[in-house]
A and B are shown apart, each in its own frame.
Chain A
Amino acid sequence: MITPKTNIKTSVLSINKLCKSFGENTVLNDFDLQLYGQQNIVVLGKSGSGKSVLIKCIIGLLRPDSGKIILFNKDVHQLNDIELDKLRVKVGFLFQSNALYDSMTVRENLEFPLRRHWIKHPQKEVDQMVNQALTDVRLLHTIDMMPAELSGGMRKRIALARTLILKPEIILYDEPTTGLDPITGKEIIQLMVDIKKKYGTAALIISHDMNCVKLASDYVVILLEGKCYASGKYEELILNEDKKVRQFFE
C-alpha cells in the first residue's frame, strides 16, 4: 500500500473570490472553491464558461485579475519563477489536447518533466519512473513509439502517465474524456479512480461528461456565470429542483 499523498482533512487548494476577464467578457466572477486531500472535485459547466481558464489560473499559466489561489499554503501568483517551478512539481496537469510533444518518443515525453524540473534524477531512476508510469496506464509496450502512431485513447493515457511521473499530490484534469468514444472514456475515468486509490492524490476535474461526474467525483461544483452556482455530492445535485442545475443532469 502506497502512503497517501495528501491528508483528507487538509485543504490543499483554496480559491477565494477569483475574477478573470478577457476584454469585456467576464469569465470568472468571485469564484470560490476548496479542495481537500484525497478528494476529487468535478467542476461542471457549459462550453466557454471558464472551466479551462480556472485551472490555467491555478497552475499559473494565466494571471487572474483579482482574487487568491492558495495551493499548499502558497499564493500561486505571488511566487517567483523558481518557487512556482517547485510548486508545480506537486501538481499534475492533464491537458484537454493531451499536449504530447510530437517530435519526441513516448519515453522522451515522459522523461521531459523529470529532466526539466529542479530535481535531478540519475538515469537508472529515470528509467524506473518511466516504466512505472507506463505500467500504471497499461501502455509499457508503446515506450519507443511516436505520439502520431497512437490512438486517441492511448495518447490520453500516455499524457496521464506523463502527469503521474512526478508523483503529484494534486492532479488537474482538463476535460479528460473529451473527444473519446464512450468505452475509452470510461477506461480513462476508471484509470483516474484507480490513481486516486493507489496514490491518494486529490484531483480537480473539469468536465461536462456526466459519466465522469458520476464515477469520479466526491463533490461537484457547477460553474455558471463565472460563479460557483451550486455544489454538493452527485446524488444531492441530481435531485436539485433548480432549472439551471437540472439542465446539466437531464
Chain B
Amino acid sequence: MTEIPSFKIFLNEIGQTSRFAYRFLIQWFKPRYEIAEFFRQCYVIGYKSLPLIGLTGFIMGLVLTMQLRPTMIEYGVESQIPVIVAIAIVREIGPVITALIFAGKIGSSIGAELGSMKVTEQIDAMEVSGTNPFKYLVVSRVLATTIMLPVLVMLSDAISLYGAYLGVNIRGMTSFHFFWIEVFDSLSFNDVLPAFIKTYFFGFAVGIIGCYKGFNSNKGTEGVGKSANSAVVLSSILIFIIDLLAVQVTDLLGFN
C-alpha cells in the first residue's frame, strides 16, 4: 500500500517539472531579455567548468586507451586503437561523462544557489524590486547550460583524444599527425551530429532540473541540501534516459 502514495508523488513531480519546463519555453523569448545575466551565467557555467571538464576528459581518454590496449593486441588490431577510441569518445563516452560531471558541478550549484535564495527570501526581494525572478534566475541559467554544455563536450572530446594519443604513446610509437589522421578518417557526419545534438538536451535537462529543485526548495537549510542533491540525482538519471531515446531516434533516422 505504501507504494501508491510514492508513485503519486513521483507522477506529481514529473507533472510539476514538465509545467516548469513549459513555463521556461513560454517565457524565454518574451521581453524583458536578461542579456547581461545570461552572459554572466555563460561565464560562470562554461568558463569556470573548463578545468574540471578538461581534467576528467584527459584522464578518460588516457585510461580508455590504456585499458583497451591489451585486448586490441590480443586480437592483433593494435593499429585500430585511435579509431575505436575516437568513435567511443565522440559518440558516447565524451557527451555522457561530460554531462554527468556537468550535472554534478553545475546542477548541484544551481539547486543550492536558488534554494538558498528561496529560503532567505531573496527571490521575493527580487520580485518586489521589479524583476521577474523566473526570467532573471531560471531562463538565463537554463539557456546558459543548454548552450555551454555542447561547447564543453567538444572541448572535452578534443582533450580526451589528446589523452588517448598520449596513452597510445606510453607503450608504442605513433606520430601526432598519424594519430589525428586516423581519428578524423574514422569519424563521419553520422557520428558527430547526433552526439552533438543530444548534448543540447543534456544541458537543458541539467539546467531545468537544477532550477526547478532550487526554485521549489523549502524547509530551510535542510531543504537547500536536498535541492542540490536531488538536482544531481534527477538530472543524471535524465541524462541516461535522453541518451537512450537519442540512440533510438538516431537509429530510426538512419544515423547509425
Contact = CB atoms under 8 A, between A and B. Distances in A.
Contact of B124 (A95, A101, A118): A95
Contacts of B125: 93, 95, 99, 101
Contact of B128 (A93, A97, A98, A118): A93
A89 B120 contact: no
Contact of A99 (B120, B130, B131, B132): B120
A61 B129 contact: no
B27 to A, nearest CB: 12
A117 B129 contact: yes
B122 A59 contact: no
B116 A61 contact: no
Contacts of B121: 95-97, 99
A110 to B, nearest CB: 11
The B interface is mostly helix, strand or loop, or mixed, namely helix
Interface in B114-138: 116-117, 120-122, 124-132
B127 A113 contact: no
A99 B124 contact: yes
B129 A116 contact: yes
A112 B129 CA distance: 7
Nearest to A92: B128
Interface in A91-113: 91, 93, 95-102, 112-113
For the side of the interface on B, what is the size category? Answer: 10 to 19
Contacts of A98: 120
Interface in B132-153: 132
A85 B130 contact: yes
Interface in B90-132: 116-117, 120-122, 124-132
A233 interface: no
A118 B130 CA distance: 8
A61 B130 contact: no
Nearest to A82: B130
Nearest to B44: A103
Contacts of A93: 125, 128
A68 interface: no
B131 A101 contact: no
Contacts of A97: 120-121
A56 interface: yes
Given A95-B121, A96-B121, A99-B121, A88 B116 contact: no
Nearest to A103: B113
Nearest to B122: A99
Contacts of A117: 129-130
Contacts of B116: 102
A79 to B, nearest CB: 13
Q: Which of B120, B127, B130 has the most CB of A within 10 A?
A: B130
Given A61-B127, A99-B124, A100-B122, 5 more contacts: A61-B124, A61-B128, A88-B129, A101-B122, A116-B131
Interface of B: 116-117, 120-122, 124-132
13 contacts: A59-B128, A85-B130, A89-B130, A93-B125, A96-B121, A98-B120, A99-B121, A99-B122, A99-B125, A101-B122, A101-B125, A102-B120, A116-B130
The 8 closest A-B pairs by CB, nearest first: A99-B125, A117-B130, A113-B129, A99-B121, A116-B130, A116-B131, A85-B130, A95-B121
